[in-house]
Chains A and B, each alone.
Chain A
Amino acid sequence: MFDISIIAKYSGAFLDGFAITAAVSVMSILGSFIVGLGVMFACVSQSKALNKFGYGYIECFRNIPFIVQVFFVFYGLPELGVFIDPYTTGVLALSVAVGAYCADILRASVQQVDREVIEAAQSFGLERKTIYRKIILPIALRTSIRPIGSVFINLILTTSILSTVTLNELTGTAKIIAAETFRPFEVYFFLLLFYCVLTYALSLIISGIHRKLNRQFLVGE
């Protein structure tokens, strides 16, 4: 019979798994945003070589499954003499892979910024760096926060794949609990609900940021 109360006994283990998932998610959200910014700058730069690199990066990492990338990093780095734990491997692989998605969204919204606004800034004699920091990026972030939010929601779901490289985050923990209790259906069902709650929480946060960034456009609230 369906008996979800089994989970209660393992709440401690679940919380440990959740802590790892949360840590990996937060670290890779930051990491992928930074990678995304970097690659975006390569895409919009004036140098042809950097452009090529940027677009190539996006194409490459978006069209190769994440699990293959993780295996490459996980089995490949020790061959190079770099020994890092699964946690760092996960953060590294996630940042690199999800960075491509971030870069694509940021690039699209940076290129959408009105040319006139940039020309006005240039005619004021602002430096390129200042124009990006004070004018282009704030405008671009306003439009890109929602799509980037859904990329980050996807990132949380993707952390489950790290259980295949021996990281005991939520999914890895659930695997152990399912094996111990012989009740895989309840355990995995609960886990699915748990991920739904997590992503819902993140979507609420994203909506909050979106409102905050776009507050000057809100009417009658």
Chain B
Amino acid sequence: MSNHEFVPYDILVLLSGISVSLYVFIISTVLGCAMGIALALTRHYRFPVLSQASTFTSEFLKNSPVLVQLFLIYFGLPIFLGINLTATEAAVITLTGNTAAFVSVIVVSAIASIDKGQIESARSFGLSEVKILSKIITPQALLVAIAPLIGLAVNQLQVTSLISVIGVMDITKVGQILNQRTWQPFVVWPVIGMTYFLLSFLLAKVGKRIENKLKQHQHWENI
């Protein structure tokens, strides 16, 4: 029996690949943003040991290949700690850490772009640190950080393709399987590439919309 042809079922396989990719991407982005903001705050408030640890971790994660990080978590960690990790869990952990490292750098520089005088005057008004963070720092820092964050998200979407190497059934893995079955790389890989392209395009579009929404009140000409 020959199954070197494409069958309609392949579309379902591709869709399941897309859903796995998006699942890992969304979870790791949400968790990574939360962790990255936490890391950035430890640096902003200069907590003694934590801030150095956060700088070191983010530099370490930013300057090493994601693929090796994946191998470390998926192959290394279970043996080292004696635990069990599925490929998807390892992928989520690695990408979360990696996203957090980049997010923390963006957030730190966004916070640094706020005038120190504003924070000092807020303190002299007797606002609590939590109030300062939520009412003064966050709204302004968000405006600065949103564009690089969206760029990062588009980039991280492409980084998710690496998780196919440790066996997560994402879009790239589906491509590999279809490629090995049909042996038509000139059909399979352009389709896979287009899928990523479209997803990135949609993500960038949504990001642009969020950015415009946030920057709505910045149009001064109406005043």
Contacts and interface: CB of A to CB of B under 8 A. Distances in A.
Does chain A bind chain B? Answer: yes
Instruction: Classify chain A's interface size.
Output: 35 or more
Contacts of B160: 65
Contacts of A189: 72, 76
B23 interface: no
B179 A71 contact: yes
Contacts of A171: 65, 67-68, 71
Contact of A161 (B67, B69, B196): B67
Nearest to B74: A184
A153 interface: yes
Contacts of A158: 65
A43 to B, nearest CB: 19
A193 B65 CA distance: 10
Interface in B159-214: 159-162, 164-165, 172, 175-176, 179, 185-186, 189-190, 192-193, 196-197, 200-201
A63 to B, nearest CB: 4
B197 A174 contact: no
A185 B179 contact: no
Instruction: Give the interface SS of chain A, mostly helix, strand, loop or mixed.
Output: helix
A10 interface: no
B130 interface: no
Interface string B60-77: 100111111101100111
A63 B158 contact: yes
Interface stretch (A82-90, A131-139, A140-148, A195-203): A195-203
Contacts of A184: 71-72, 75-76, 79
A158 B152 CA distance: 16
Interface string A103-124: 0000000000000000000000
Given A71-B189, A171-B65, A171-B71, 12 more contacts: A2-B80, A63-B158, A67-B162, A67-B164, A72-B189, A76-B185, A174-B71, A183-B79, A184-B75, A185-B80, A189-B72, A192-B60
